[in-house]
Structure 1
């Protein structure tokens, strides 16, 4: 299997003409092939592992990983950096999707990990989703939240694992903030993308792991039930894989965030929803 790159000249031209381009999705080679072809050296990156850490107990773990911006330069050419409002989509085996703004990848230390530094199994217990020994490979997007402690409050919301594909995509603003909504709802739209849209969708935009339309769902359940689902989903449905809003945030902030997300979803125009899966839903 050859390493499929987005031709840098094509990407740069598209960005210059009217960018950002929505480049073709790039299926990532397996780690051994990627290592053989890259000019980069893997680093050992120590992080506070958000999937293992719980309130009052930080768990540190070290991974072997490539700096994400340098790796994206190798795969896409440096032209991806030209549009900070664009996004890099990291897609996992199960349809989980993280769309990370280019500006965020350039601001904070992000890495694409492929192994644990201690040689132990490349897996994690995801306490927030009630899952044990979850395989992380082939790739796991991690952040140096020791050097950048402000990232810890978000928990693991933007730490996708089992990443198999990346893609440069336009900004999500048009999908999440229809005309006239940006001035009032931009912060809530960003929160929805961070905490909800890796699995769920808004009017067809979002992840494929549990693609129910949250703009519709917010209209179907009352405010108290919505709060319970977002703050403590395991209490509503024991065994659900839906994580709560980050427990690392103060409780009052979590409650306010749940309310703001619902208000934003109710303010959105409602498009026809796709058929939803039958697993736990908020």
Structure 2
């Protein structure tokens, strides 16, 4: 098992990355909020395919949490995270404290349009993506990485970050990696630990329902009917549905015709746990 180098300050981070650059090495970054699972370690593995080194960042970003969301209850396990990342082959872990990211007097926010204002996650968490974009922009510039690895499970986030990096001419390639799933199809997520045994079985319906909707659309069913059927299925099984919708796969705008690249996205509550998933059409 590789033992990743742990750095907690920007100065230490830049000393290490400057050494890599002097050796002619390329490197990827995997931004996370910790609670590392196999979805994250898969991103590390994908980062290693594209570059010589991988940095994983672990930072529970307070700007992503609204007033009613409990920042203090977000799962944290630094020792376990370091062990899992070492087993995955990660070379360095950047674990800044909030003051390192948002020093005294910090007053800048990246404000977004486009995919960040698509009426999906932003409808339920209006300030979420501005917080994501602000911290990700900082992590991109702090690490200076060549590649940034993001999972497709958080599909809107992937499109927001990709658009932001392009719009701001950040010299980094954002790479989307297909969702890592359990053997039964459930998308890997840090939130899955909150599901009861019964809910864990019920949760499979979110992926199966949107997968069936995608099949129906490919078979000729109109978009709205397919979404209605998927929504009804989830509600019948006890989900509180926030949305089930089909969007343009790049812009996340409502599609104008069936020939566009399409993505079905869903978010629903099962008990006290909110699950999201998406599939291509």
| TM-score where L is the length of structure 2 | 0.35
Structure showing the higher helix proportion among its residues: 2
